Amino acid sequence: MSRPLLAALCLLGSALSFASENTAASEGSAPPSLLNPAAQIESWLATLPPWLRLGAEIRGRSDDYFGLNAVPGQDDAYYLHRFRLNAQVSPSGWMRLVTQIQDSRQGGYGRKPIPYSVAQPADLRLSYVEFGRGGEEAPLSVRVGRQPLVFGDMRLVGTSNWGNVGPAYDALRVSLRPGSVRLDGFASFVVTPCKGFDAPRRDKMLSGVYASFDLLGKTRTVDVYLFWKRDRRAASLLTYGVRSAGPLPYRWDYNAELALQRGRFAGESVAAWAGHWEIGRKLQCARRPLRLAAEYNYASGDKAPRDGHYGSFDAHYPTNIFGTAADFGWRNLHEPRVYFEWQPDRKTRVQTAYHWFWLAERGDALYNFAGAVFAFLPHAADAYVGSAFDLRCIRQISRHLQVWLGYAQLFPGPYLTQAGRAAIEYPYAMWNFSF
Q: Given this model, what pLDDT does residue 13 score? A: 47
The number of beta carbons lying within 10 Å of the beta carbon of residue 124 is 14
Q: Given this model, what pLDDT does residue 194 score? A: 83
**14, amino acid identity:** S
Q: Given this model, what pLDDT does residue 286 score? A: 62
**140, amino acid identity:** L
Q: Is 108 exposed, middle or buried (0-12, 13-18, 19+ CB in 10 A)?
A: middle
Residues 71/431/283/320 CA torsion (nearest 10 deg): -40
Residues 6+ apart with CB under 8 A from 287: none
Helix (H) or strand (E) holding 423: none
In sequence order, the β-bridge partners of residue 429 are: 62, 405
Helix (H) or strand (E) holding 40: helix 37-45
CATH number belonging to domain 3-434: 2.40.160.100
Q: Given this model, what pLDDT does residue 320 score? A: 81
SS3 385: strand
Walking along the chain (435 residues) 10 residues at a time, the average pLDDT comes out as 46 46 44 60 84 95 92 92 96 93 92 88 93 82 96 93 91 93 96 84 93 86 96 87 95 97 94 98 82 97 92 92 85 96 92 97 93 92 96 94 96 96 95 93
Q: Given this model, what pLDDT does residue 97 score? A: 96
Q: Given this model, what pLDDT does residue 219 score? A: 82
Q: Given this model, what pLDDT does residue 14 score? A: 44
Q: Given this model, what pLDDT does residue 6 score? A: 46
Q: Where are the domains of the chain?
A: 3-434
Buried b (16+ CB within 10 A) or exposed e, 36-75: bebbebeeeeeeeeeeeeeeebbbbbbbbbbbbebeeeee
Query: Longest Cα pair distance anywhere in the chain, in angstroms?
Result: 78
For the chain, the residue count is 435
Q: Given this model, what pLDDT does residue 11 score? A: 47
